[in-house]
Structure 1
């Protein structure tokens, strides 16, 4: 299974927005610059996060994005579902019912074992994403990241955040 690059970008952006001072916003252009992404590509994902109530989009000259709720109330699953949608990653096409050896549909009353195994695996990784909060990611970053990266990010956020409107 492969998640889109948009998931990575969305999680990174949410982590950056968690560092904003209360009531402040960060424009999409700054988030795109920080991550070396095109603004139009990133906007699509930021808008999906706002539609899912993970982020809040603030219009106007002091507008931009900020978290819609506290980092401990945002799971990685919230972000993944906002970007990728709710459909399972594995979609069974019932190919066992095709080809020269296919039987009549009534012969396939039990679910395909492959589908069962794949959906079980998906349930497990979704459970891990649901229990992993954005605050956990932030704590790990603060503990493990190079101090120069932390200093750069803090300075970047301070320089680009917009005042309360």
Structure 2
């Protein structure tokens, strides 16, 4: 399965939002500049996160984006679903119906062993993403790269609008 680059951008932006000063909002332009991303495209991802209740958006000169809830309550699946949508990755088109012996009275989405295997794999993938939070990733980064939170705050502080 291939996810859009927006998922990666959204996850990293959310992670960076965990390290900004309490109460501080980050504009899409500042978040985008951190990784040299196109601000307009990142803004679309941030708006999708806002619609999903993952971030909040505040207008105005001191406005921008903040996490809408604690990182412990934001799963990786929440972010993926906000960006990619809730649809299934594998879509059974019931090709068996068209083949030799295919029948119109069979729901091949349920009867097909390929479809069943793909659905089990997708369920396992979704379960894994749902079991990991932004706080889990934050903790791993901080354990392995302890200077990252301060470096991130410093970077944003040095580039105030």
TM-score normalised by structure 1 residue count: 0.88
**1:90: Cα distance to partner?**
0.7
5+ residue gaps, structure 2, are none
Question: How far apart, CA to CA, are the structure 1 residues paired with 2:23 and 2:37?
Answer: 25
5+ residue gaps, structure 1, are none
Question: How far apart, CA to CA, are the structure 2 residues paired with 1:24 and 1:151?
Answer: 15
**1:137: Cα distance to partner?**
0.4
Question: What does 1:57-68 align with in structure 2 at a 5 Å threshold?
Answer: 57-68=57-68
1:80 has 2:77 as partner? no
Q: State the structure with bigger RCO (CA 8 A, min sep 6), 1 or 2.
A: 1
**Root mean square deviation, CA, Å:** 1.9
C-alpha change, 1:161 and 1:115, in structure 2 (3 Å) is farther
1:114-161 C-alpha deviation (Å, 9 max, x unpaired): 1111111111111111110100000111112374x5553231133346
Name the counterpart of 1:156: 155
1:132 has 2:132 as partner? yes
Q: Give the number of equivalent residue pairs.
A: 160
Question: What does 1:1-165 align with in structure 2 at a 5 Å threshold?
Answer: 1-99=1-99, 101=100, 103-106=102-105, 111-145=111-145, 147=147, 151-160=150-159
TM-score normalised by structure 2 residue count: 0.90
